[in-house]
Amino acid sequence: MNKLSVIIPVYNGEEYLRECLDSVVNQSIGIDNIEVIIVNDNSTDNSLNIINEYCDKYPSFKLISNNSQLGAGESRNKAIGEVSSDYLTFIDCDDFISLNAYEDSLLKIEESGADLLIFNWETYTGTDYVEPINIHQQNTLENKLINSIDENPKLIFSTPSWNKIYHKSLFKYLKFSNALYDDNLAVVSSLINASKIFLSKDATYFYRKNLTSTTENITPQHGIDLSESIKELYDLNNRNVALLNVKFINDVLFWIYYYDWSIPDEIAVISKLRESAYNISAKDLDYFKQLFPDYEVFYRKDCLDLNNFDSETFLAKYKYFNRLNKIKSTASLYIDNGNGFNEDSKISVDYIPQKNNKLSFDLTKFSNIVSIR
């Protein structure tokens, strides 16, 4: 039996697909120990030819072909049903992993008895630009085993599916949606139901980010889909999940305040958010602020008033009468002065987001700078 199954959904991924597949083939554990299940989601480029080339060369590669485009979430669901290993992980077709990732992770799982392992991830842009660490990127500074997410509530923000290895006891929770935020419910369900979680600092997933497709591409559909995800997550009835929803609710509010969508689109998004966020409480908001006192976008009063007004009145009160105050944000520069990146060694600048912001940071108080991000 293979030691690990890797699921890779592919849709028009020819540009980076070889780099992704080579990072799996060249794993130190050996490709003969890895079951690779690739789901071609009805690609129209050269992806299928590349996949067939690897399937012909490596017996442990399997191909599933969708007759129509189903999306990454449903493609993962189909592949999970074909898994023959006791452990499962995911990788997206434009990303890649460190060559020790699977061998090191499986060894740690064997030694610790963990049913879920989480390893580091970094944003890869292919340029000298270093993406700032975000709230979902809970970097692992040391190897550590915890018995539940209650020992580290911030892990609830680790919603990507691909920097984790799941034991078969968790497969039943891996039900991906077909919306934009297909990872959220599946990963969060696994996080809160895992009996032992190992946090590993010794493996890295490289998430490729296209710098031309950042916040300018947020659409009303993002607001609708994230609001639907909020509703699904509340159904899990978990305090730490409510913490994550506070962040998501604030995200949707920021998008509404920042973008000039049409009035009908704004009403549709805020209506969906109001329907989904009916459970938000002052207690949840205070708990979030306790864990993240410097979080840049936080609309406490707005969150609590979501269901005190109809959608049109809410927009008038909280967007159009007060917009500039609503879109103020904070940029944080993290300084590694020899002790790694942490909250104690950063400086922040408030600004109003524009397409081309130029910000200045005063570094004079740091006598030793190893790196910045």
d(CA 177, CA 175): 7
First and final C-alpha spacing in the chain = 42
Q: Hey, what are 338's tokens?
A: 């020899």
Tens digits of per-residue pLDDT, 67-121? 999 999 999 999 999 999 999 999 999 999 999 999 999 999 999 999 999 998 8
d(CA 124, CA 96): 9
DSSP lists the bridge partners of residue 118 as 164, 199
pLDDT mean across residues, the chain: 88
d(CA 227, CA 245): 9
Question: Does the structure show a pLDDT above 90 at 328?
Answer: no
| 260-264, Cβ contacts within 8 angstroms, sequence gap of 24 or more | 261/220, 263/315
Tens digits of per-residue pLDDT, 121-161? 888 766 555 555 555 556 567 899 999 999 999 899 999 99
Tens digits of per-residue pLDDT, 18-35? 999 999 999 999 999 999
Question: Does the structure show a pLDDT above 60 at 243?
Answer: yes
State the pLDDT at residue 326.
Answer: 64
Residue 16: phi, psi to the nearest 5? -120, 5
Question: Does the structure show a pLDDT above 90 at 351?
Answer: no
State the pLDDT at residue 120.
Answer: 87
For residues 289 and 243, is the Cβ–Cβ distance under 8 A? no
Q: Looking up tokens 């005063």, which residue turns up?
A: 362
Q: Hey, what are 49's tokens?
A: 């030819």
Tens digits of per-residue pLDDT, 266-320? 999 999 999 999 889 999 999 999 988 877 778 999 999 998 999 999 999 999 8
DSSP lists the bridge partners of residue 350 as 330
The torsion of the CA quartet 70, 135, 288, 321, rounded to 10 degrees, works out to: -80
Q: Looking up tokens 């390893």, which residue turns up?
A: 119
For residues 207 and 121, is the Cβ–Cβ distance under 8 A? yes
Which domains occur in the chain, in start order?
Answer: 4-208 (3.90.550.10), 217-326 (no CATH), 329-372 (no CATH)
